[in-house]
Amino acid sequence: MKTFFKILILVVIVGAFIFTIYFLYNKSQAKPVVYETTTPVVTDIVLKTVATGKVVPRKEIEIKPKISGIIEEIHVKEGTVIKKGDLIAKVRIIPNMVNLNNAESRVNRAKIALANAKRNYDRNKKLLDQSVIAKTDFEKYEYEFTNAREELKSAENNLELIKEGQTKNSGSATNTLIRSTINGMVLDIPVEIGNSVIESNTFNDGTTVAVVADMGEMVFEGKVDESEVGKIHEGMDLILTIGAINDTKFHATLEYISPKGKEENGAIQFEIKAAVDLIDSIFVRAGYSANADIVLDKRDSVMAISESLITFENDSAFVEVETSPQAFERRYVKTGLSDGINIEVLSGLTKDDKIKKLN
């Protein structure tokens, strides 16, 4: 019985030893590498560059007052659609004390002159009626009286303009009323009732009371890198993707390329502008960020392969084509347009060739 157990233990040990040798041998054998292959496809190759920027109104006007004062009334709010001539705000004039004093003094002097001219007129009118003086002598006093009356009227109008910004005879034409100069939408009102504003004149731009823009005509303003600007030209088609409306594509036409670049973050950028074709059912707000795809070149329905399948050496392109199962030969191919992912194959391959995928 003891002999049986000894033999059994010996057999187990020998079996374990043989199994271990066999396992280690199999593990040391390299497994054959199986390469995946792919075939050329017929597709469209589009080479494009992307310009980043924003969509803004073509006509955006800052409305400024024609006279300094304090905002007394505001008749519109952001988003209001207005027409040319519509009232935006009213300014209350704070008159200059020196000008006001001079105007009041002028009125008083005009009243004194008128009273004196009227006395002379009335006196000589009686003499003319009694045929004591000639009519030619009387006409001098008539002229002085008429002139003094007009001077008083002018002085009173001047005082009224300084105090109120308008005269009784001016009707609605007044500098205190700020009106829109174009048809459009109010984008911004940077002032509030009670704010002081400065008139627009030769020496000062003036305070902006409202910003009005024509939202029916939008342009894309973006920038293109100097490496791409030589490939684009006016009249090219752009495809806009607006960040806030990313499920809709807008078409645009390139209409301006800046003749001078600006350095930004170490790179030279050139400004471009493109007219946007708006969609009636979609409201595009001013200042939306957008990306424009500019098509530089295009090939329709050409044979192409993934650019990752190609090995480039000394301006030549090579691929590995399967000649028999898992046997490959290196073959030269002539390539055409590339979009960075797929590349056009002009010669060297057929649609049935199986190309080795490179690891």
Give the integer Cα–Cα distance in Å for 201 and 210. Answer: 17
Last residue of a domain, one of 213, 247, 282: 213
Helix (H, G, I), strand (E, B) or coil at 30: coil
How would DSSP label each residue in 288-323? EEEEEEEEEEEEEEEEEEEGGG-EEETTEEEEEEEE
The answer to whether residue 88 is domain-embedded is: yes
Do 88 and 102 sit in the same domain of this protein? no
The answer to whether residue 267 is domain-embedded is: no
The answer to whether residue 239 is domain-embedded is: no
State the pLDDT at residue 204: 80
Question: What is the tally of structural domains in the chain?
Answer: 4
State the pLDDT at residue 75: 92
The answer to whether residue 111 is domain-embedded is: yes
Do 76 and 207 sit in the same domain of this protein? yes
The answer to whether residue 226 is domain-embedded is: no
Last residue of a domain, one of 145, 164, 183: 164
Do 3 and 110 sit in the same domain of this protein? no
Give the integer Cα–Cα distance in Å for 299 and 346. Answer: 12
Q: How many CA atoms lie within 13 A of 212 on its CB side?
A: 23
Give the integer Cα–Cα distance in Å for 299 and 287. Answer: 34
Q: Is the dihedral of CA 59, 83, 67, 93 positive or negative?
A: negative
Do 146 and 205 sit in the same domain of this protein? no
- Residue ranges in the chain whose pLDDT is less than 50: 172
Do 17 and 104 sit in the same domain of this protein? no
Helix 97-129 with 135-164: angle, nearest 10 deg: 160
* Domain CATH for 327: 2.40.420.20
Do 181 and 84 sit in the same domain of this protein? yes
What distances in angstroms separate CA 162 from CA 104, 154, 175, 199, one per listed residue? 10, 12, 11, 14
Do 175 and 159 sit in the same domain of this protein? no
The answer to whether residue 52 is domain-embedded is: no
Last residue of a domain, one of 153, 185, 213: 213
Amino acid at position 82, single letter? I
Do 184 and 79 sit in the same domain of this protein? yes
Condensed to tens digits (0 to 9), the pLDDT of residues 56-74 reads 999 999 999 888 888 989 9
Amino acid at position 97, single letter? M
The answer to whether residue 3 is domain-embedded is: yes
> What values do phi and psi take at 114, rounded to 5?
-65, -40
pTM score: 0.62
State the pLDDT at residue 215: 92
Apex 132 CA angle, 129 and 137, nearest 5 = 85
> What values do phi and psi take at 82, rounded to 5?
-130, 165
State the pLDDT at residue 20: 76
* Domain CATH for 69: 2.40.50.100
The answer to whether residue 273 is domain-embedded is: no
Do 327 and 187 sit in the same domain of this protein? no
Condensed to tens digits (0 to 9), the pLDDT of residues 188-213 reads 999 999 898 888 877 788 899 999 99
Structural domain that includes position 189: 60-93+171-213
State the pLDDT at residue 174: 67
Tokens at residue 250, please?
Answer: 């807008």
Tell me, what DSSP letter sits at residue 243? G
Do 137 and 195 sit in the same domain of this protein? no
Do 72 and 209 sit in the same domain of this protein? yes
User: For the chain, how far is it from start to end, CA to CA, in angstroms?
Assistant: 62
Q: Which residue has the tokens 């308008």?
A: 166
Tell me, what DSSP letter sits at residue 202? T
> What values do phi and psi take at 19, rounded to 5?
-65, -40
* Domain CATH for 159: 1.10.287.470
**DSSP β-bridge partners for residue 288:** 55
